[in-house]
Amino acid sequence: MVLEVLARCQDFISAQRLHSLLVAEDLRISLSTVYRALRELETADSVDVVRDDVGERLYRLRPEDGHRHYLICRSCGRSWPVDSEDVEQWAERIAADHGFAAVEHTVELTGVCGDCQPASDEGESLSCHPDSGRRTPAHRARSYAS
């Protein structure tokens, strides 16, 4: 059930919201089970995970094409898989330069998408973000970025 919603969603979503969606569909499932399912999917590398600005974890089913990095709109919350060839290479190079092995990287790209730029809120096209066009920008704990 978790997988199904994730697949339908095609966007990052929190465990709690996911649970809400499930319950809203009359599916009987507990929050614990949702967390357990997500953890499985995570260890199976079937989902990508990013952190909310409040530390909450957001999950997204990894696209079949293997993309692992996304461009996320801070306003509506929608995400787009992006090509990360360059970063992969950069990461490898940097690691090699420093004599590192077993390198892993985490990359999060956020911004304001085209739809959210002119007016203030729209982008209700997808269903995973009840709080679409209204998200606390830089609530308190912003990740470092530049």
Task: Give me the residues that bind DNA (CB under 7 A), please.
Answer: 14-16, 28-33, 35-37, 39, 54-57, 140-141
Does residue 28 belong to the site contacting a second copy (CB under 8 A)? no
**According to CB under 8 A, which one of 4, 100, 124, 130 is a site residue for a second copy?**
100
Site for a second copy in 31-70 (CB under 8 A): 39, 42, 47-51, 55, 57, 62, 68
Residues β-bridged to residue 14: 58
HEC secondary structure over 18-64: HHHHHHHCCCCCCHHHHHHHHHHHHHCCCEEEEECCCCCEEEEECCC
**According to CB under 8 A, which one of 30, 36, 54, 112 is a site residue for a second copy?**
112
Does residue 119 belong to the site contacting a second copy (CB under 8 A)? no
Q: Are 2 and 37 in contact (CB under 8 A)?
A: yes
Does residue 71 belong to the site contacting a second copy (CB under 8 A)? yes
Distance CA 84, CA 107 (A): 9
